[in-house]
């Protein structure tokens, strides 16, 4: 099971997508953003991310394996 994290201040949900990048979603609006594990934006409406949360979710062995398999 992939790691998921609900940010205590913003309420954003941090998860891993199918290619190993961090998906940040606002459950209240449905907006999302895709970031690497260093917080570098890739796509979506959300363009700012908590770097610690992105790293914590995006640097798991599962996320690394997905990124390597899709590169």
**Cα angle: 48, vertex 56, 52; to 5 degrees:** 45
Q: What are the residue ranges of helices labelled H in 2-71?
A: 51-58, 61-69
Burial of 8 (0-12, 13-18, 19+ CB in 10 A): exposed
pTM, two decimals, is: 0.92
Backbone angles phi, psi at 57, to 5 degrees: -80, -40
pLDDT digits (tens, 9 = 90+) for 12-68: 999 999 999 999 999 999 999 999 999 999 999 999 999 999 999 999 999 999 999
Query: What Rg value do the Cα atoms of the chain yield, rounded?
Result: 11
């Amino acid at each position: 099971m992939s790691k998921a994290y609900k940010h205590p201040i913003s309420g954003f949900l941090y998860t891993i997508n199918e290619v190993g990048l961090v998906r940040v979603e606002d459950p209240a609006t449905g907006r999302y953003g895709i970031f690497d594990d260093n917080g570098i934006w890739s796509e979506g409406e959300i363009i700012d991310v908590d770097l610690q949360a992105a790293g914590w979710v995006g640097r798991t062995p599962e996320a690394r394996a997905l990124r390597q398999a899709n590169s």
